[in-house]
Amino acid sequence: MIIEPLSVDRIGQVIDLMGTGAPYITPRTYSDYWLYATLFSATCPVAVAENTIAGAIIAFRSQDDPADIYLQDVITHPGHRRRGVTRLLLETVRAQGKKWGCRRLFLTSDPGNITAHATWTTLGFTNVPGDHVMNGISVVTDYKGPGRSRAVYESPV
């Protein structure tokens, strides 16, 4: 397994990978991934196994608070799950965050995504206390706007 920064050459493969993430992840446009590959590749690692993409993290350092890195999309191909791909990709983002002196990684998840909850709590994230609890997961109502309640997770870099 090789971890490499997202490149323009891989965009088609990454879009296909994101298509396997339903219902929690849907592919963004080619132009979005061009932007990530061209301006944010240091925090957008992809895992490559035999020239196919096994997983990816799309993350960004905040310009509003440069101590923060937000993980926008995290996905492992169904054929590669539970083999430590996300763990490995996350280490890459953490290492970059440490180099930059960042202090926090954070992300949001659909409150119904039990697998994501298990993943984030195992990988050192705290489920930030919200205003209600669903299936044992703390949720912030309308975190991303009306009707967009989310579980929020954070970890020190």
The span of 8-16, 26-34, 81-89, 135-143 binding ligand COA (CB under 6 A) equals 81-89
Least separation in angstroms between residue 147's CB and ligand COA is 18
Strand partners, 95: none
| Residue 115 contacts ligand COA per CB under 6 A | yes
SS3 state of residue 45: strand
The span of 5-13, 29-37, 73-81, 132-140 binding ligand COA (CB under 6 A) equals 73-81
Least separation in angstroms between residue 64's CB and ligand COA is 21
The span of 32-40, 59-67, 69-77, 136-144 binding ligand COA (CB under 6 A) equals 69-77
Residue 12 or 79: the one with the smaller Cβ distance to ligand COA is 79
| Residue 138 contacts ligand COA per CB under 6 A | no
Whole-number Å distance between alpha carbons of 96 and 143: 27
Helix axes 11-18, 30-39, angle to 10 degrees: 120
Torsional class of 53: left (φ above 0), alpha (ψ -120 to 50), beta (otherwise): beta
CA 135 to chain centre: 22
